[in-house]
Structure 1
Amino acid sequence: MFSSILSEWPDFATWYNFIFFAKAAGTTLALSAIGVVMGSLIGLVLAISRITSARLLAPVRWLALIYTEVFRRVPFLVTLMLVFFSFQILFRNVPLFVVAATATTLIASAFLAEIVRAGLHSVHRNQWEAAVTMNFTLWQTVWHVLLPQAWRVILPPAFSFFVLFIKDTALASQIGVIELTYAGKVMNNKGFSATLAFGAILLIYFAISYPLARMGTVLEKRLAPSRNQES
């Protein structure tokens, strides 16, 4: 096996292949970044909707609950296919990247909504009551009272989700998005061994994920004492 890899290496390690892998890695990072950024914003809105208590907002709470539970339970690949065929029916000539970015946003927002909601609920009830006493609106309560205290609880699991989410974007290759996993398939179809093609993909995924995982571990250790003091 090693002799085969060594014989293929000169043809594999070309500038063209390097650029191809770099663009595929860029697509993977772009999908992950869009999913995380848009998912965080939508997740925050969903989490706030879930913690409201006004009767008039009951339909909003139920819609947020249904959205969160559905997209947390349905596999990523199923969501991706549903979004893909929905775009095929409703629109024409939509770029595959837009389809994949939409699916990743739907999935990320559902998971991040639960992470944010758990963080908001970790703030002691006295803080909520104090905000009500001061006639804060819901958004003022969340922005000025809850989030400044809850982010220490939200950040560590959010980082863990980000690392897992980068790997989940590999499913975008199923609809033809040229990301890292798709690049490995292309190299394998060109005649390079699966060990070499997907081994290179493994190393790139590791190079992307490991620094984020380490950063999440460091943040969790640094934030743990402050969380214990607050509790």
Structure 2
Amino acid sequence: MFERIIEEAPRFFTYYNLMFVLGAMWRTLLMTLVGCSIGFTVGLGLAVLRRTSAAWLRPARYAAILYVETFRRIPFLVVLFIVLYFIQPIYSGASLLAIATVAVCLMSTAFLSEIIRAGLESVPRQQMESAEVLNFHPGQTLAWVILPQAWKVILPPAVAFVVMFVKDTSLASQLGVVELTYAGKILVNKGFSPLLGFGAILAAYFILSYPLSRLGAHLETRLGTSRNT
């Protein structure tokens, strides 16, 4: 086994293979960051909507709850195929990468909305009552009172979720998206040792995930310390 790896190494570690793996890393990172960024923004809106008590927003509030609870219970692979079969008849020119990114948006919106909602609810009720006494309108209360305190609870699990989704994007290979996992299959199909091909993919996932994991740990430590002071 090791003799084969040593024999194949000069052919494997070439400029073309390096660019191929870097391109797959970029697509993996792009799906994760774009999907989770949009998911965080929309999820924040859904979390705020679910906290409203206005009667005229009740249908929208129920729709938000239905969306979040539904997509949190559907496997990501199923969502990928649902998005694929929904978008392709409407716009046949859509790239597989774009379709997979839309699926990431749908999933991350549901999960990040729940994380954000938990963070918003961690703010003591007395803080909001004090804002009402000061005649803050709901937007001011959210921006100046709730969010500054809720970030301490929201950010660490949100970063952990993004790290998890870096790995979950491997399921996009089932659609044919040339992300890291699919790139590993291609390298092995070209005749390279599976240990060599997927070993390089393992290293690429580590390079993407480790800095995000350290960021999450740093935020958890720093924000946890600030909560206790």
TM over 0.5: yes
Q: Report Cα offsets for 1:193-225 as digits up to 9, x if no partner.
A: 211111110011011111211121122111112
| d(CA) in 2 for partners of 1:165, 1:185 | 20
Checking the alignment, whether the CA contact within 8 Å between 1:119 and 1:154 is kept in structure 2 is yes
| d(CA) in 1 for partners of 2:123, 2:70 | 27
Matches within 5 A, 1:10-21: 10-21=10-21
Checking the alignment, whether the CA contact within 8 Å between 1:32 and 1:104 is kept in structure 2 is yes
| d(CA) in 1 for partners of 2:178, 2:138 | 43
Checking the alignment, whether the CA contact within 8 Å between 1:47 and 1:116 is kept in structure 2 is yes
Q: Report Cα offsets for 1:99-149 as digits up to 9, x if no partner.
A: 011000011111110111000000010111122333333322211211011
Checking the alignment, whether the CA contact within 8 Å between 1:153 and 1:227 is kept in structure 2 is no
Q: Does residue 145 of structure 2 align to residue 148 of structure 1?
A: no
Secondary structure at the aligned position of 2:53 is classed as coil
| d(CA) in 2 for partners of 1:140, 1:169 | 37
| d(CA) in 2 for partners of 1:226, 1:148 | 12
Instruction: Quote the residue 1:120 is aligned against.
Output: 120
Q: Decide which moves more: 174-183 or 130-139.
A: 130-139
Matches within 5 A, 1:49-60: 49-60=49-60
By how many angstroms is 1:180 displaced? 0.7
Checking the alignment, whether the CA contact within 8 Å between 1:47 and 1:113 is kept in structure 2 is yes
Checking the alignment, whether the CA contact within 8 Å between 1:188 and 1:194 is kept in structure 2 is yes
By how many angstroms is 1:178 displaced? 1.1
Instruction: Quote the residue 1:32 is aligned against.
Output: 32
For structure 2, list consecutive stretches of 5 or more residues without a partner in the other structure: none
By how many angstroms is 1:33 displaced? 0.7
Instruction: Quote the residue 2:217 is aligned against.
Output: 217
| d(CA) in 2 for partners of 1:224, 1:92 | 48
For structure 1, list consecutive stretches of 5 or more residues without a partner in the other structure: none
The share of aligned pairs that are identical, in percent, is: 52
Q: Does residue 162 of structure 2 align to residue 162 of structure 1?
A: yes
> What one-letter code is carried by the residue in structure 1 that aligns with 2:149?
Q
Instruction: Quote the residue 1:196 is aligned against.
Output: 196
| d(CA) in 2 for partners of 1:219, 1:91 | 41
| d(CA) in 1 for partners of 2:112, 2:132 | 26
By how many angstroms is 1:156 displaced? 0.8
By how many angstroms is 1:186 displaced? 0.6
